[in-house]
Chain A
């Protein structure tokens, strides 16, 4: 389901998702319409623009948060022309399950985008690389990130963005086994307990990076 006030983009998104094999259950122009439709027939995932009518302030975000609270089974992918760390933290709040927050530009990279939508629909997460790099570039005293090898850093970035181990392995063209090794090494260096699911892992890494 798509909520986006620009017709051009809404249609474009619908076409993209249709081509990729998704069924677009509904297209909405504003947040109220979206909430109504989600209540009537909850989809697997909603894609929502952060700026929606009438004020174009935070209607989209509020709708996203409400759907996350009321319909935990519905994945929420928020699109925006700016990505803000503060908003990401708000969206994730206490769980990175079934949530995504991407810069709008990302939709043109069709494959990546479709993969992200699918991930969110399946209860995973998708965070924009800008957020992850913001967190990683953040200066801090006694930075344990400095201890990471470049390869570990790459893995960390992808991990924080919501990629699964398989996704990371595909992207870096390394074996799944190697990814697992890097991940446990990273967790060791940062002093984080290794957690089960991949989306829990995302939240743990984000919280660590943000602190």
Chain B
């Protein structure tokens, strides 16, 4: 998890493919090595009889060497970045080297015998290191190191105490009893390591949750049984149990087949990498960002894949719609892989941890997707910005509306009332001074001026806020609008009860502005205004029979209306074909 959290750069370095000058000699050497056990078996006759039929056992030994070396070579050339191929090659050669103990030459015998218990440990190493070729975790590394140490050092100790015949160069103080004890300890310990290894594999499988390619994983896991069989054979030998040759052969056969399973596993991820190629082709078609996640999920064969974009300005991860995404904690059941572009995080893949086994695939897919991701990230950022903008627009409009409403009320309760009271005083005075014609005329004049001012103030107040809408609802307010319109208006209001004040005010302005436009530009004979509640929306529609072709962009009227309507989550549409009249339709959600 920690490793995967490290950024896999989109410009991942390309691993070196082994040159054919290395591959061919190694392959030939492998085949030659495989021929070794056969030769020894046929010529020296030194194959230990307790292993069973010499010819069978030597064919199996040859088979193991050849299959590890050749499969290892293939794996190496196909997945150069993985150490798994070279590890298999080493395992193949070591298992050959161990059969040198079947020779009669003192030096080769001694060398081969010293390596006698190394192959099982290497098999353990190979099984644990699949597929990356690396051991993950301190426990696994300690386990394998201890196994190596046990296999080599105890074998050397045993050889010091002799019991291997005349070709053992290391024999110092022959003591078969001690040698026997050491052998038992050795066998028990290696068995224990193998079983521990099987335990690690089982635990790993459990922890990974749902494996991506379940059938293949199971196939590979099945070969871990070979480790159990090794442990069984060794324990059986150590505890003087029955030695069943067929089990030994089956074990050898399983060990020899395992490289093929590994190879299929690696080639499968090679197939997955060609899916990464398909991804690139797909991305070139410039997919919709929503398709990107699906395409990545397909390429990585992880349907649970989630994609989050980094928004630097908001300093958070977000999904395509701009909603914040919290990355899973490091020890949770999900793994993350970051995708960088030009040194900065662009996105993160939240995926099944089993994908961590295939860092190259992740890197290939990430590299291909980086550009498209940048596009998607911009998209997400845009959405987030849009959301913020919409919110702030609504707030600005609402604040403006509240402020205007407050001003209107102040005007109503303040200046207007005072002027009316003043005008009333003047009127009373005028009555009292009726006989003084000059004074009465002046007072009348003053009253007239005040009336004009009041008229102007009324217009200002109405412009600030249509108080009649708040006070008496849309239907009442629209009646005056329709009556004052420049053309005959048929007004239909089908609203039961009141709706949200902001909605009523917006609807009022839509009608007012539209009727003004009709009077100014439409050259219409008549118009209709319909207000109704449809499916939880207040729908306002103004239709005229004028010349159409209204300019919906210039002139702030319609634009301002659209702002107002959209800030309430609604929609304003205008149809204005040339010569075909104009239809303005506002849909305002009631919630």
User: Residues of A at under 8 Å CB distance from B?
Assistant: 6, 8-9, 12-13, 15-16, 19, 50-51, 56-58, 61, 81-82, 84-87, 89-90, 104-105, 107-111, 134-135, 137-141
> Is A105 a contact partner of B454 (Cβ separation < 8 A)?
yes
- Among residues of A, the one whose C-beta sits closest to the C-beta of B491 is A86
B412 within 8 A of A: yes
> Is B430 a contact partner of A6 (Cβ separation < 8 A)?
no
Give the CA-CA distance A110 to B421 in the complex, in Å: 12
Give the CA-CA distance A57 to B329 in the complex, in Å: 56
> Is A139 a contact partner of B424 (Cβ separation < 8 A)?
no
Give the CA-CA distance A45 to B420 in the complex, in Å: 21
* B476-488 near A? 1/0 per residue, CB < 8 Å: 1111100111111
A-B CB contact pairs (8 Å), 25 listed: A6-B421, A8-B418, A12-B421, A13-B424, A15-B428, A16-B424, A51-B412, A51-B467, A51-B471, A56-B409, A56-B412, A57-B472, A58-B471, A61-B472, A82-B461, A82-B467, A85-B479, A87-B468, A104-B416, A105-B451, A134-B484, A137-B483, A138-B488, A139-B488, A141-B525
Give the CA-CA distance A134 to B479 in the complex, in Å: 11
Q: Give chain B residues whose Cβ lies under 8 Å from the Cβ of A110.
A: 427-428, 430-431
Q: Could you tell me the distance in whole angstroms from the C-beta of B48 to the nearest C-beta in chain A?
A: 106
The dominant DSSP class at the B interface is helix
Q: Could you tell me the distance in whole angstroms from the C-beta of A107 to the nearest C-beta in chain B?
A: 5
B470 within 8 A of A: yes
> Is B458 a contact partner of A82 (Cβ separation < 8 A)?
yes
> Is A85 a contact partner of B480 (Cβ separation < 8 A)?
yes
Q: Give chain B residues whose Cβ lies under 8 Å from the Cβ of A87.
A: 468, 472, 476
* B416-460 near A? 1/0 per residue, CB < 8 Å: 111011011111101100000000000000010011001100100
Give the CA-CA distance A137 to B418 in the complex, in Å: 31
Report which of A6, A16, A19, A84 forms a contact with B468, defined as CB distance below 8 A. A84
Those of B387-421 within 8 Å (CB) of chain A: 409, 412-413, 416-418, 420-421
Q: Give chain B residues whose Cβ lies under 8 Å from the Cβ of A19.
A: 428, 431
Given contacts A13-B424, A84-B468, contact A134 B430 (CB under 8 A): no
Most chain B beta-carbon contacts within 10 A, residue among A50, A58, A61, A108: A108
Give the CA-CA distance A19 to B467 in the complex, in Å: 33
Q: Give chain A residues whose Cβ lies under 8 Å from the Cβ of B345.
A: none
Give the CA-CA distance A13 to B418 in the complex, in Å: 13
B475 within 8 A of A: yes
Report which of A9, A61, A84, A111 forms a contact with B424, defined as CB distance below 8 A. A9
> Is A16 a contact partner of B428 (Cβ separation < 8 A)?
yes
> Is A86 a contact partner of B479 (Cβ separation < 8 A)?
yes
Give the CA-CA distance A51 to B468 in the complex, in Å: 10
- Among residues of A, the one whose C-beta sits closest to the C-beta of B423 is A108
B559 within 8 A of A: no
Give the CA-CA distance A140 to B489 in the complex, in Å: 8
Q: Give chain A residues whose Cβ lies under 8 Å from the Cβ of B480.
A: 84-86, 134
B521 within 8 A of A: no
B526 within 8 A of A: yes
B462 within 8 A of A: yes
Report which of A61, A82, A104, A138 forms a contact with B483, defined as CB distance below 8 A. A138
- Among residues of B, the one whose C-beta sits closest to the C-beta of A50 is B471
Given A12-B421, A56-B412, A58-B471: 7 more A-B contacts, CB < 8 Å: A9-B420, A9-B421, A81-B416, A86-B476, A104-B420, A109-B427, A134-B483
Q: Give chain B residues whose Cβ lies under 8 Å from the Cβ of A56.
A: 409, 412, 471
> Is B451 a contact partner of A108 (Cβ separation < 8 A)?
yes
> Is B427 a contact partner of A139 (Cβ separation < 8 A)?
no
Q: Could you tell me the distance in whole angstroms from the C-beta of A77 to the nearest C-beta in chain B?
A: 15
Give the CA-CA distance A154 to B578 in the complex, in Å: 42
Q: Give chain B residues whose Cβ lies under 8 Å from the Cβ of A90.
A: 472, 476
Q: Give chain B residues whose Cβ lies under 8 Å from the Cβ of A8.
A: 417-418, 421
Q: Could you tell me the distance in whole angstroms from the C-beta of B417 to the nearest C-beta in chain A?
A: 5
Give the CA-CA distance A104 to B275 in the complex, in Å: 81
Q: Could you tell me the distance in whole angstroms from the C-beta of B422 to the nearest C-beta in chain A?
A: 8
Q: Please provide the 5 A-B residue pairs with the shortest distance between their CB atoms, ordered closest to farther.
A: A86-B476, A86-B479, A108-B423, A108-B427, A8-B421
- Among residues of A, the one whose C-beta sits closest to the C-beta of B457 is A81
Q: Could you tell me the distance in whole angstroms from the C-beta of A200 to the nearest C-beta in chain B?
A: 23
Q: Give chain B residues whose Cβ lies under 8 Å from the Cβ of A16.
A: 424, 427-428
Give the CA-CA distance A8 to B420 in the complex, in Å: 9
Given contacts A51-B412, A107-B424, contact A139 B476 (CB under 8 A): no
Q: Could you tell me the distance in whole angstroms from the C-beta of B442 to the nearest C-beta in chain A?
A: 14
Q: Give chain A residues whose Cβ lies under 8 Å from the Cβ of B409.
A: 56
Q: Could you tell me the distance in whole angstroms from the C-beta of A83 to the nearest C-beta in chain B?
A: 9
Give the CA-CA distance A85 to B417 in the complex, in Å: 22
Give the CA-CA distance A81 to B467 in the complex, in Å: 10
Q: Give chain A residues whose Cβ lies under 8 Å from the Cβ of B413.
A: 6
- Among residues of B, the one whose C-beta sits closest to the C-beta of A59 is B471
Q: Give chain B residues whose Cβ lies under 8 Å from the Cβ of A9.
A: 417, 420-421, 424
Q: Give chain A residues whose Cβ lies under 8 Å from the Cβ of B427.
A: 16, 107-110
Q: Give chain B residues whose Cβ lies under 8 Å from the Cβ of A140.
A: 488
* B514-539 near A? 1/0 per residue, CB < 8 Å: 00000000000110000000000000
Give the CA-CA distance A86 to B431 in the complex, in Å: 34
Q: Could you tell me the distance in whole angstroms from the C-beta of B544 to the nearest C-beta in chain A?
A: 13
> Is B425 a contact partner of A12 (Cβ separation < 8 A)?
yes
> Is B476 a contact partner of A84 (Cβ separation < 8 A)?
yes
- Among residues of B, the one whose C-beta sits closest to the C-beta of A134 is B483
Q: Give chain A residues whose Cβ lies under 8 Å from the Cβ of B470.
A: 57
Given contacts A134-B480, A138-B483, contact A108 B462 (CB under 8 A): no
> Is A111 a contact partner of B431 (Cβ separation < 8 A)?
yes
Give the CA-CA distance A61 to B472 in the complex, in Å: 9
Q: Could you tell me the distance in whole angstroms from the C-beta of A30 to the nearest C-beta in chain B?
A: 14
Q: Give chain A residues whose Cβ lies under 8 Å from the Cβ of B487.
A: 139
> Is A108 a contact partner of B476 (Cβ separation < 8 A)?
no
> Is A108 a contact partner of B479 (Cβ separation < 8 A)?
no
> Is A84 a contact partner of B479 (Cβ separation < 8 A)?
yes
> Is A105 a contact partner of B423 (Cβ separation < 8 A)?
yes
> Is A82 a contact partner of B428 (Cβ separation < 8 A)?
no
> Is A135 a contact partner of B430 (Cβ separation < 8 A)?
no
- Among residues of A, the one whose C-beta sits closest to the C-beta of B421 is A8
Report which of B418, B423, B483 forms a contact with A85, defined as CB distance below 8 A. B483
Q: Give chain B residues whose Cβ lies under 8 Å from the Cβ of A138.
A: 483-484, 488
Give the CA-CA distance A89 to B409 in the complex, in Å: 25
Q: Could you tell me the distance in whole angstroms from the C-beta of B26 to the nearest C-beta in chain A?
A: 93
Q: Give chain B residues whose Cβ lies under 8 Å from the Cβ of A108.
A: 420, 423-424, 426-427, 447, 450-451
Q: Could you tell me the distance in whole angstroms from the C-beta of A44 to the nearest C-beta in chain B?
A: 21
Most chain A beta-carbon contacts within 10 A, residue among B409, B424, B486, B488: B424
Q: Could you tell me the distance in whole angstroms from the C-beta of B233 to the nearest C-beta in chain A?
A: 94
